[in-house]
Structure 1
Amino acid sequence: MEKMHPTGDRAVAPARRRGLADEVADRIREAIFSGAYAPGAPLREVELSSTLQVSRGPVREALRVLEREGLVHCAWHRGTVVTTLSAEDVAELDSLRGALEDLAVQQVIAHASEEDLATIEKAAGVMDRTTDPHAMVRLDIAFHDAVFAATGHQRLGAAWETIRCQVHLFLLTRIGLSTEGYLGCIPQEHHALAAALRA
């Protein structure tokens, strides 16, 4: 028997299928990460609906998903734009990311399996063969995904997920200004971290 509140309302609202909105969110997110939409670029529902060949409803819902991820900013009567990170945003992301990664390193050293460590080392190794800045950013994020996955700490992994897209956006902003030093130093830094995790 369906559970009801004393008022007669359902205790739990009926589930809605969100597959299409999720797919649209994935497509827009990918376009942002590929550089098709730079920080500050407008994301117009009508244009996205036409490009993706879907109605405006899933587009609107997808943009709300991306707003929760911090990738876009929606303003009433002004539309939606790709997030532009301020200096304060960057400082907050940097400090929070550092705190999460410090804990992640401790957890990996204490709990990671040999398979986990091998996955992290493989993620670092792929960077050696990459010369494209956008690809390097993806691999940078993938490396940290592997580290957080190896912690076995679900809430720590969830905390990383809340800032993951914003960190990706920050790295894209960084290479948009200059790639000098990034392609050369990032693989070395990640190899060093992978080695330190075996200490």
Structure 2
Amino acid sequence: MDARPVEEIAPARRRGLADEVADRIREAIFSGAYAPGVPLREVDLSGVLQVSRGPVREALRVLEREGLVHCAWHRGTTVTTLSAEDVAELDSLRGALEDLAVRQVVATASDEELDAVEKAADLMGRAGDEHEMVRLDIAFHDAVFAAAGHRRLMDAWQAMRCQVHLFLLTRINRSKDGYLSGIPDEHRELLDALRSRDVEAALGLFAAHRRRAVDVLNG
């Protein structure tokens, strides 16, 4: 079958403004300005961001696909509140991806790639508050997935990383006890296990690291 003539294809639309609006709202969620459950009204956001409601509407659709907001008919849009089922699903999927990443890193990562993971771990010791620590926590795991050298695995991580960020925000909203003081040491242990090339030790430490966060939410 012949391809459709070019003139029958709908013209492309520029989406730069909607992407920028999505970036601004995402940043506000990650900074704690919009907490889980907070309503996000198009008219209010368009006023704050000084744009029309069209780009705001498109931006909210982007954030809904990322799992950061929830849109319900007649109830509007709110920042996603993670249910117990959401937490369990995120934890199980993250665990599956991270186990593969750990195995890949132990088997194939170069010293330079592990140096990038170490740099991410070092930055965590300088976090000024819990929200900055969450960002650095995510950046550490970004570095681990990058060191795995597995493009499709990285794509899968990227598809869920915003929801993992939201999960960690939910964790610090539940309890900040020991977060700033303990998280850097936890990640240093993860790094050391990767550098040792001891896959079983690394898998155990990564699993314990994930479990501690889930225990805070389930406690």
Which secondary structure does the structure 2 equivalent of 1:43 belong to? coil
Unaligned runs of 5+ in 1: none
Q: Which amino acid aligns with 1:145?
A: D
Distance 1:106 1:56 in 2: 46
Per the alignment, residue 193 of structure 1 pairs with 190
Per the alignment, residue 84 of structure 2 pairs with 87
Shift in Å at residue 69 of structure 1? 0.3
Distance 1:99 1:92 in 2: 11
TM-score (normalizing by structure 1): 0.93
Shift in Å at residue 140 of structure 1? 0.3
Per the alignment, residue 58 of structure 1 pairs with 55
Per the alignment, residue 151 of structure 1 pairs with 148
Unaligned runs of 5+ in 2: 197-219
Per the alignment, residue 134 of structure 1 pairs with 131
Q: Please state which structure has a larger fraction of its residues in helix.
A: 2
Aligned residues: 195
Distance 1:190 1:104 in 2: 15
**RMSD, aligned α-carbons:** 1.6
- Mean CA deviation greater in 180-189 or 63-72: 180-189
Identity of aligned residues (%): 76
Per the alignment, residue 123 of structure 1 pairs with 120
Which secondary structure does the structure 2 equivalent of 1:80 belong to? strand
- Mean CA deviation greater in 140-149 or 180-189: 180-189
Shift in Å at residue 67 of structure 1? 0.1
Per the alignment, residue 5 of structure 1 pairs with 4
Shift in Å at residue 13 of structure 1? 3.8
TM-score (normalizing by structure 2): 0.85
Distance 2:91 2:180 in 1: 19
